[in-house]
Chains A and B, each alone.
Chain A
């Protein structure tokens, strides 16, 4: 059974079509990245999976459950981190997380454990927490849930690099337990590093669904150099690297760089028109 199956999903707001005929299938146990620029339809898709908004057409199934008709049961199987960590302000982080515990089976010690891991002061009120610390509350509430799928909408926004790293360490552990992870992110490096597959969405349409294993195999290197007379050259490395080095040794170089072309560049390719 597929973890998430999105079939011909479209969503419009009045005359604006936010997502057009999106089709994505995510197998159980995968980490799938969901990449696209702001307003491309990532959050709309995720919120439709969570039954916070309704699709205009198409179906979304999570572990065989329909996102509209079986919404309550479906949400029991999903842990969700929204892009904006907004909570009821007039309550301490500990009380809020204890409230979350009422819907799962973990005990209070799990809260303490995760709070210590993320260095979060549980005694503070939500309104007194910084954006980064509210994000930590959001991550902890999701990780407290005994779910089969974790949906993350920009999970590391507001977190410092150390916390981002610690967060992904936990996510990898969750994957090892067999959980499926659907990760929407602008951070292409983290997508490249942690995801098995990447869905690229542009203007509400799926433009590519990359298998990272295949992409990694076809990684290419680029060579950039500059000669003393100011000539700058960049080219993709297609010949044997030793031959290229021999040829370059004949030149009077002031600068040389051979770098592996990141998958990030592949993603950027889809936004070239905007980049130009």
Chain B
């Protein structure tokens, strides 16, 4: 019998994805709703928003990642501002989904049923990873498609497809990263692999990025600790080598934690 059988992974994936459908659909609707509301209202809010932003303190704009978005009359910068906030919400979804996929099974003891089937722990872990990817991809895709449609319809001359796609591609890495980390931690430890702890981690890293911007040169190193700062819309459009290297580093961290998570999950006692 094969130690790792991808057929088993697909069976487990279908089962888990079906079981997580309500959570995923709920987030798809919520994110789609928010994106529709903000993106389609672009012509109405651009003048008001510019006036409001001019009146806001610089620090407040930094907190919400809007300091580089001075021109609210431009759809790309307006979308970047909206998406950088929406991405925090998607990250919360990703970490709670990632953590719950493993943690809840042990909490409710349903893992006893799942692991009594002729499947390995690594197959269970990989299937959960795929559910996480599929769930986050669905939420991100729906939000992105709405933004692209809105940009085409109401963006006018200021809509630049390539730049919007760049923002979506780079900024959307963050929720995948956080989801993988949350799943990895849930694999390593039942105790610390909870959605609430993971959500706190997201907010702390978001605030670190803010602090890094606030401190300027003195706090530059903090920017590298926060994927929100590293993969913000301005960096996504510029896409410097530095950003690509950091992206590679984050990918390596995600892969390493994922590997360690699956390895320890295979070796540890299930909490039942």
Contacts and interface: CB of A to CB of B under 8 A. Distances in A.
Contacts of A95: 18
Nearest to A104: B118
Contacts of B120: 71-72
Contacts of A100: 117
B115 interface: yes
A73 B269 CA distance: 19
Interface stretch (A79-87, A109-117, A172-180, A267-275): A79-87
A99 B15 contact: yes
Contact of A86 (B8, B110, B117, B118): B110
A75 B114 CA distance: 11
B11 interface: yes
Interface string A137-168: 01001000000000000000000000000000
Contact of B1 (A47, A52, A72): A72
State the majority secondary structure of interface residues on B.
loop
B116 A86 contact: no
State which size class the interface on B falls in: 20 to 34
Given A72-B3, A90-B19, A99-B15, A52 B272 contact: yes
Given A72-B1, A141-B113, A99 B11 contact: yes
B27 to A, nearest CB: 15
A256 B202 CA distance: 76
10 contacts: A52-B270, A52-B272, A53-B272, A54-B267, A72-B1, A72-B120, A88-B110, A90-B19, A99-B11, A100-B117
B52 interface: no
A87 B113 contact: yes
A86 B19 CA distance: 14
Nearest to B15: A99
**Which of A47, A72, A99 counts the most B-chain CB atoms under 10 A from its CB?**
A72
A86 B269 contact: no
A90 B18 CA distance: 8
A84 B115 contact: no
Interface residues of A, number: 28
Contact of A82 (B1, B22, B116): B116
A264 to B, nearest CB: 29
Contacts of B269: 52-54
A84 B120 CA distance: 21
Contacts of A106: none
B186 to A, nearest CB: 16
B109 interface: yes
A88 B19 contact: yes
B112 A75 contact: no
Nearest to A91: B19
B21 to A, nearest CB: 8
Nearest to B10: A102
Contacts of B15: 88, 99
A86 B267 CA distance: 23
Contacts of A84: 109, 112
B119 interface: yes
A232 interface: no
A76 interface: yes
Interface string B96-125: 000000000000111111011111100000
